[in-house]
Amino acid sequence: SVPAAILSALSASARGGVLFKGGAALESFAAVTQFAFDKTGTLTTGRPEVTAIVSPVMPEDEFLRLLAGLEAHSEHGIAAAVRREAERRALTPADMADVTAHPSEGITGRDAAGMVWAGNPRMVARMGGDISGAAFNAITAGAETVIWMGRDTSVLGAVTVADAVRGTSREALDALREAGTTRITMMTGDRRPVALRVGKELGLSAEDIEADLLPHDKVRLVDAMTRAGKVAFVGDGVNDAAALARADVGIAMGAAGSDVAVQAADVALLSEDMARLAAAHKLARRTARIIR
């Protein structure tokens, strides 16, 4: 039977919006000494805004209509930002068929004129596109997330999106450090300049920031961390599911995150207040001391 102390900790955590899938998850969490956080949608709000459009070969609105046509089929936070911007401009998203998501890279589809794609530099490379042109210098040199869009091998342009760090992320990381956490890392599929900018806001040093990752890279990095102690991975996306499953404790952003992430996790964070996570860790550790 489950000790009363665990039951009471489970229910207290649940009232704070931290749902453990059982007493064993709470006990594992108590033993965690290292945290790996996804960036987008976890440490940041995941509700980015379009900040600029660079579209050298067509009018901005036409560009956005095409991109919104692709992103109409995606549940990524970036996709929602693109759709909102299209809506704000009263644009009807272009019709797209065969839309396929490529986690941590982007999205591909087909319109009447042929193949259309959007995503990060990895997606550009996969399509054989070239983003070295002068028209793109300013955005490639910047520290914002860039979504490139192209048709076949030609790059049509890009939008930049900016995503705010959650107001409670810094406080949560500081609390985890104060409580003796030995390592905190940030892992992201986004570009390194963006990751470094966000990491700096959170008090993370460059060696604790891993960028340009694919889902399996997150798994490999979590695996490597487990050699130094128990690891919790905190993430929100489909791209985090494998790392959530691999970590000693997987923690999914429950309210804003994807269902796949919640299913792969041991804990769901229903509150967007990251400080609740640090509080739950404290409570789990206190409870483990009582029952031992």
Residues lying near ligand ADP in the complex (CB under 6 A):
38-41, 71, 74, 76, 78-79, 104-107, 118-120, 145, 147, 188-190, 237, 239
Interface with Mg ion, residue 145, by CB under 5 A = no
What percentage of the chain's residues is helix, strand, coil (to nearest 5)?
A: 45, 25, 30
Q: Is 38 a catalytic residue?
A: yes
What is the contact mask toward Mg ion in residues 27 to 66, using x (rule: CB under 5 A)? -----------x-xx-------------------------
Interface with Mg ion, residue 236, by CB under 5 A = yes
Of 99-107, 194-202, 207-215, 231-239, the segment contacting Mg ion by CB under 5 A is: 231-239
* Signed CA dihedral, 44, 50, 52, 54: sign only: positive
CB of 92 to ligand ADP, least distance (A): 19
| C-alpha radius of gyration, the chain, whole number | 20
How many CA atoms within 13 Å lie on the side-chain side of 41?
Answer: 27
- Which tokens in the block code for residue 148? 């490139």
- Which tokens in the block code for residue 162? 């900016």
Among the listed residues 58, 3, 57, the one whose alpha carbon sits nearest the alpha carbon of residue 26: 3
Interface with Mg ion, residue 266, by CB under 5 A = no
Residue 106 interaction partner, one of Mg ion, ligand ADP, none, beta carbon < 5-8 Å per kind: ligand ADP
Q: How many residues does the chain have?
A: 292
Which stretches of the chain bind Mg ion, using CB under 5 A? 38, 40-41, 236-237
